[in-house]
Amino acid sequence: MGKRYENLDGVCTTKTFADLRRWYAERRQKKKDWSYTLPREHIDSFLLHTNKNQTLLTWIGHATFIIQINGLTIVTDPVWAKRLGTIRRLTDPSIPIHDVPPADVILISHSHYDHLHFSSIKQLKGNPLILVPSGLRSSFLKRGFERVVECCWWDTVVEQNVSFTFVPAQHWSKRTLFDTNTSHWGGWVIEGKEKPTFYFAGDSGYFRGFRAIGERFHIDYALLPIGAYEPEWFMGPQHVTPEEAVQAFVDCRAKTFIPMHYGTFPLADDTPKEALDRLYAEWERRNFPSEQLCVPKLGEIVYCETAT
């Protein structure tokens, strides 16, 4: 048997068949309003194709971002799929994949299908360096990808003066019946010299690792998940609630919170509107400055300020 990866403190995210049956029974009793769709802007793709100096961030949907820093185009967890099995996408990607500028670096947080879609990666232009969690490199090599580097927690890779550090998350991995936790999971911290620092959290339950990350890095923008949390008794160990995401923002000492992992795939029982409403309510309850919460529209280009 190959290596099986674990969470900090041995936290288990495994659920039983009985747990699944309980969730599905609860789900049948719920009446949810899924009519709300995320606002979007017409993207200025010319700017993305020509930008060499500015630090820009664009949300494509779910956990997929285009981040441009130090002349590099970085794509996180590229998923342009219209469906994941029986789960249909709620909103189209904010930019068609054929209009994405050539990728220099691709960051993968873990192996779940809503974060790792090989077909999307193959369609991206360029010859990107692909950074993956430990245990995943072989899956890329057998599909013909060559520039693939595997990382353990706290490993750092430098590409054109930008540092990429793989950091812990509390989650799990699986793509088949037989490969549960045979590859790791985590987030990425992106640091460019005299540029803002980004923390892309991937997918995670609430855990002490957020504090550890904040102690090691000076984070400007924290890209944190807020969706797929309901029912909380089932999803809790692996997906933060919006309130826990706000606490994670505090723990990692970031300057700006950017929410993600909501509004694209209905992976759980919470709706996009519920996730956003809870985020805004918690932000107001804590009386945090409104300028520290950045909720981009799909396709909106965020101009990210240089770190001070």
The pLDDT of residue 307 is above 60: no
Tell me what the pLDDT averaged over the chain comes to: 95
Mean pLDDT over residues 67-78, rounded?
97
Q: What angle do CA 94, 170, 187 make, to 5 degrees?
A: 45
pLDDT of residue 306: 66
3-state SS record for 148-203: EEEECCCCEEEECCEEEEEECCCCCCCCCCCCCCCCCCCEEEEEECCCCEEEECCC
Q: What angle do CA 130, 135, 141 make, to 5 degrees?
A: 50
Mean pLDDT over residues 145-166, rounded?
97
Distance in angstroms (rounded) separating the CA atoms of residues 125 and 151: 24
- Please tell me whether the peptide bond between 231 and the residue prior to it is cis, using omega within 30 degrees of 0: yes
pLDDT of residue 308: 46
The proportion of the chain whose per-residue pLDDT surpasses 90, expressed as a percent, equals 93
The pLDDT of residue 2 is above 80: no
pLDDT digits (tens, 9 = 90+) for 231-263: 999 999 999 999 999 999 999 999 999 999 999
* CATH superfamily, with its number, for domain 42-303: Ribonuclease Z/Hydroxyacylglutathione hydrolase-like (3.60.15.10)
pLDDT of residue 8: 94
Please tell me the number of Cα atoms within 13 Å of 284 on its side-chain side.
Answer: 6
Say which range, 1-10, 168-177, 213-222, has the weakest mean pLDDT. Answer: 1-10
Please give the single-letter amino acid code of residue 242: P
pLDDT of residue 1: 52
The pLDDT of residue 208 is above 80: yes
pLDDT digits (tens, 9 = 90+) for 104-132: 999 999 999 999 999 999 999 999 999 99
Mean pLDDT over residues 25-38, rounded?
92
pLDDT of residue 53: 92
pLDDT digits (tens, 9 = 90+) for 276-292: 999 999 999 999 999 99
226 phi/psi in degrees, rounded to 5:
-130, 0
Q: 44: pLDDT confidence band, cut at 50, 70 and 90?
A: confident
Q: Where are the domains of the chain?
A: 42-303
pLDDT of residue 214: 98
Q: Which residue has the tokens 């924290």?
A: 222
Contact 222, 238 (CB under 8 A): no
pLDDT of residue 287: 97
Q: 169: pLDDT confidence band, cut at 50, 70 and 90?
A: very high
Please give the single-letter amino acid code of residue 299: G
